[in-house]
Structure 1
Amino acid sequence: MFATLALAIGISAGRAHADESTKPSPSASAPDPSMISRDEVRRILDSNRMIDTTQGINEKIKLHINGIDQWISIRGKDRRNPILLFLHGGPASPTMPEAYTFQSPWEDYFTVVQWDQRGSGKTYGANTEAAMAPGMSVEGMTDDAAQVAQYLREHYHKQKIFLLGHSWGTILGVNLAQKHPDWFYAYISVGQVVNGRSNEAVGYNYALGRARAEGNTKAIAELESIGPYPGTAKLTPERVGVRSKWEMYYGGLAWGRKDFQFDVDAEELSPDYTRDDLHAIDKGSLFSLNHLLDALLDTDFDHTTHFGCPVLVYIGAHDYTTPHENAEKWFGNLQAPSKRLVVFADSAHMVMQEQPGRFLVHLVNDALPLAQKVGDAAPAEVTRDH
């Protein structure tokens, strides 16, 4: 469940490697004039995704919410399109720096809002830890999210918007959809956190089972050293890190991949993030875990199953960061005006990046019609996306 640990392991290592690679060696000759600088790559990427703002929206805004400055990015090609607020994972794993790898086609159909949450990315860099600390709780950050949603509805004159939560963002998403169902065309769940302790146990058992099947003595030794897991002992970042490391190695974070370097590399070239912003991700992850680790483990939505707005649940078939079987069982118990489950056959936890085309098709086919017409109660639908 704790995607931050898995991401932090991959991101910190990858970022350190990237920083080291930019240092000239003592024996290095003059720079190769054919090499393109990071700033030039970012300029090219930003130019490629240009938005005509006479009709669309392309803004980065710093909002003062609950005592601190919080950054949002708003991008879309037609102001008439519905707004989709993206609640990123982690905690403190912002999607803004990597969104350019998958989001541009979404902007034909939605005005997409990326929000760097309290303790995360640009927002972490804009505030002191002392200023952020009082609101570093599920309740405080749900209220932050509510104020972002209210700003979007009022400023852009939208009665309703879409709410998409990914991983940790599903905790905020469920709470916000429960409090204000009338604000949302639908709650879109991606990598749903259902029950913290159960999620951790399933992910651990998956990694240990794979390690034993392959005879991976190093993985077995490290995983058994933290067992029984999660158990009753305090769940420290070090223990979570062991589980995250091997669950990621066996494809539970990104299917078919042993690490997260592909995402780190994409972030390094982000047109939305400076080098300082990137380093703020790493610092914010550690800060956020110190405040939110216990709250994550205590999350229990087993009986939070009644929703006043439609619910779309998108799941990677190989997800063991937020185990897919837990989310599928939860979906079975949901009661909502309408609900739909989509299982992506070739994805784990990072569905938007792993199967971006299929993900967009489902956003357009499943979500968009809900903004065009609010109908009567509809039956549940389940799709296996092959």
Structure 2
Amino acid sequence: MFVTLALAIGFQAGRVHADEASAPSAASASTPDKSMISRDEVRRILDSNRRIDTTQGIDEKVKLHINGIDQWISVRGKDRRNPILLFLHGGPASPAMPEGYTFQTPWEDYFTVVQWDQRGSGKTYRANTEAAMAPGMTVDGMTDDAAQVAQYLREHYHKQKIFLLGHSWGTVLGVHLAQLHPDWFYAYISVGQVVNGRRNEEVGYNYALGRARAEGNRKAIAALEGIGPYPGTAKLTPERIGVRGQWEMYYGGLAWGRKDYQFDVDAEELSPDYSREDLDAIDKGSLFSLNHLLDAMLNADFDHTTHFACPVLVYIGAHDYTTPHENAEKWFGDLQAPSKRLVVFADSAHMVMQEQPGRFLVHLVNDALPLAQKAGDVAPAEITRDH
């Protein structure tokens, strides 16, 4: 759940910018290494590789004025007849737009994908003052932001319904929005569902401490026992949550088989969608957002929010302890919806889209797309000829 916090604490001090890493030192400035490539050139190559023909498709970045501030969205798809999929990113303030190029491009054959930088996040953080953003930094305020984004998409692109995908913190907004406006959505797609904030912390902590003890990792044991009992009744500070997040991540609870999140940070650094200034805004927005939303994240409780009036797809990483998989599996069992489907990705933790991107796309196409086909909101896929 607290991906942004883990990044802010674990990587902010040590992050190496790609352009800085490629810059020659003073000693070698006179003889530049011609094998090095600039960040701008990498971004140009990536952008060229995923170019969309906009006579039929859509490739837009749009600044919307919503609830008193400017909020940025990216809209990309290869056929505007396809259904729209609105992605609610995690964190809070952990935008998916900068690393979306690592998993999203194949989705664009089947969906028009919308990445939205939420209030306090990325491009939206950079476009506004903190004072202007602060009044809406609540679950209700940001759910209304999301509702207005969804309304814009439905009206501007002439779609009666769209898909709503929430990841991690985005599932908090996603559940609220799907409850308020089920008639707007073909389905609510839950990825890394937050079910109960404090129980998330307890299960993730116990997982990390159990692994540390099994391996005799004295450094991890000392750090984790030092914040116990956890979460306990004492106030949960960013520092305590950061310790839990650091060791849960080390033991693969964020990305299975990985000890850190550097792969994602590195991908962000080369993002064709983000400038250097946009990237710098991520960490600033993270700390600003946590000051306003930490209690809201901890108090999230959907144990009894189990009746949906739209279809629900629940995608879970089998090793997820950021939003623990067992919590989401039990929640799915309690769900009542017009239709529901559970998919557990065997080799993933919390970052399912990046960990098993091919399988994730297969399920989007097989599970979600048919819900839009009934309304004729899907472009023809292929032309097949028998010889």
**TM-score of the alignment, normalized to the shorter chain, above 0.5:** yes
- Residue 245 of structure 2 corresponds to residue 244 of structure 1: yes
Asked whether the equivalents of residues 18 and 270 of structure 2 are also in contact (C-alpha less than 8 Å), the reply is no
Equivalent residue number for residue 282 of structure 1: 283
- Residue 212 of structure 2 corresponds to residue 211 of structure 1: yes
- Residue 59 of structure 2 corresponds to residue 68 of structure 1: no
Amino acid at match of 1:325: E
Asked whether the equivalents of residues 248 and 321 of structure 2 are also in contact (C-alpha less than 8 Å), the reply is yes
Shift of 1:19: 6.4
Tell me which moved more, 280-289 or 21-30.
21-30
Equivalent residue number for residue 39 of structure 1: 40
Q: Which runs of 5+ in 1 are unaligned?
A: 375-386
Equivalent residue number for residue 371 of structure 2: 370
Equivalent residue number for residue 3 of structure 1: 3
Equivalent residue number for residue 202 of structure 1: 203
Amino acid at match of 1:355: Q
Amino acid at match of 2:318: A
Distance 1:22 1:44 in 2: 17
How do residues 306-321 of structure 1 correspond to structure 2 at under 5 angstroms?
A: 306-321=307-322
Q: 1:48 to 1:18 in 2, by over 3 A?
A: closer
Q: Say which SS state the counterpart of residue 5 (structure 1) adopts.
A: helix
How do residues 135-150 of structure 1 correspond to structure 2 at under 5 angstroms?
A: 135-150=136-151
Q: Say which SS state the counterpart of residue 350 (structure 2) adopts.
A: coil
Equivalent residue number for residue 380 of structure 1: none
Asked whether the equivalents of residues 84 and 163 of structure 1 are also in contact (C-alpha less than 8 Å), the reply is yes
Q: Normalised by the size of structure 1, how large is the TM-score?
A: 0.95
Equivalent residue number for residue 21 of structure 1: 21
Percent identity of paired positions between Structure 1 and Structure 2? 88
Cα displacement string for residues 146-201 of structure 1 (whole angstroms, at most 9, x for unaligned residues): 00000000000000000000000000000000000000000000000000110100
Q: Say which SS state the counterpart of residue 337 (structure 1) adopts.
A: coil
Distance 2:251 2:320 in 1: 10
Q: Say which SS state the counterpart of residue 271 (structure 1) adopts.
A: coil
Count of paired positions:
374
How do residues 121-140 of structure 1 correspond to structure 2 at under 5 angstroms?
A: 121-140=122-141
Distance 1:153 1:17 in 2: 38
Asked whether the equivalents of residues 10 and 260 of structure 1 are also in contact (C-alpha less than 8 Å), the reply is no
Asked whether the equivalents of residues 14 and 265 of structure 1 are also in contact (C-alpha less than 8 Å), the reply is no
Distance 1:247 1:172 in 2: 24
Distance 1:361 1:10 in 2: 33
How do residues 168-317 of structure 1 correspond to structure 2 at under 5 angstroms?
A: 168-317=169-318
Q: Say which SS state the counterpart of residue 343 (structure 1) adopts.
A: strand
Distance 2:240 2:173 in 1: 24
Amino acid at match of 2:279: L
Amino acid at match of 1:246: W
Distance 1:325 1:51 in 2: 40
Distance 2:53 2:365 in 1: 22
Amino acid at match of 1:28: S
Q: Normalised by the size of structure 2, how large is the TM-score?
A: 0.95
Distance 2:187 2:300 in 1: 22
Q: Say which SS state the counterpart of residue 55 (structure 1) adopts.
A: coil
Q: Which runs of 5+ in 2 are unaligned?
A: 376-387
Shift of 1:31: 1.6
Alpha-carbon RMSD: 1.2
